[in-house]
Amino acid sequence: MTHADEQASLEGILKDEILRMYQEVADNPEAEFHFFHGRPAAEMFGYAPEWLERAPAGAVDSFAGVGNPHERAALKPGETVLDLGSGAGLDAIIAAWEVGPEGRVIGVDLNPSMCLKAQENLATTGVTMECHEGRMEDIPLPDASVDVVLSNGVVNLSFRKRRVAEEMFRVLRPGGRISITDIVSGRELSQSIVNDPKLWAA
């Protein structure tokens, strides 16, 4: 097996685990996970209490981010925002409140049923978001089409992080901004961690 074949096979295993794990957070948020999620996670990351009160319970309960990308995004009314790995939609909903009716929020998620879930959650909020099935490694948007890229706990899931960064810069308009919260390790991870799809997917 060549290195490329091996990588493609590992990427396929990881994709299946990512689909399974985040689907479970969306369908069964009350189940046990070995990462923070839902309202306790959002509170810990400093999401404004009024956002969490106002957002639909489905989006709050299935929130699976690792930080608060809104803190530095400084979204302005009228802007176009891309939420990469939009999941059950909490970050997209908050972005939609911030950019207002003149703005536009576009979600992209690997898992088409996440887009359906996010749309279901958004339906009760009066705000809208487009959601596209797609991968952050091949963002299904034209060049220079968004003002801000948001992402919360998603880039660490990719095998091809450099490619993700190139894609973010491709879709950003000149002068655009990126606000990401993610996981980085200050030391090299052991092979037993790197080779465990459950740990990588989480």
Ligand X SMILES: C[S@@+](CC[C@H](N)C(=O)[O-])C[C@H]1O[C@@H](n2cnc3c(N)ncnc32)[C@H](O)[C@@H]1O
Which stretches of the chain bind ligand X, using CB under 6 A?
18, 22, 63-65, 85-88, 90-91, 108-111, 114, 135-137, 152-154, 157-158
138 or 175: CB nearest ligand X = 138
175 or 184: CB nearest ligand X = 184
CB 145 within 8 A of CB 171: yes
Cα–Cα distance between 20 and 198 in angstroms, integer?
Answer: 10
Least distance to ligand X, CB of residue 79, Å: 18
Least distance to ligand X, CB of residue 148, Å: 14
DSSP-assigned states of every residue in the chain: --HHHHHHHHHHHHHHHHHHHHHHHHH-TTS--SS--HHHHHHHTT--HHHHHHS-HHHHHT---SS-THHHH---TT-EEEEET-TTSHHHHHHHHHH-TTSEEEEEES-HHHHHHHHHHHHTTT---EEEE-BTTB-SS-TT-EEEEEEES-GGG-S-HHHHHHHHHHHEEEEEEEEEE----SSPPPHHHHT-HHHHH-
Least distance to ligand X, CB of residue 18, Å: 5
Least distance to ligand X, CB of residue 96, Å: 12
87 or 103: CB nearest ligand X = 87
Residue nearest to ligand X (CB): 85
Least distance to ligand X, CB of residue 180, Å: 11
164 or 174: CB nearest ligand X = 164
64 or 148: CB nearest ligand X = 64
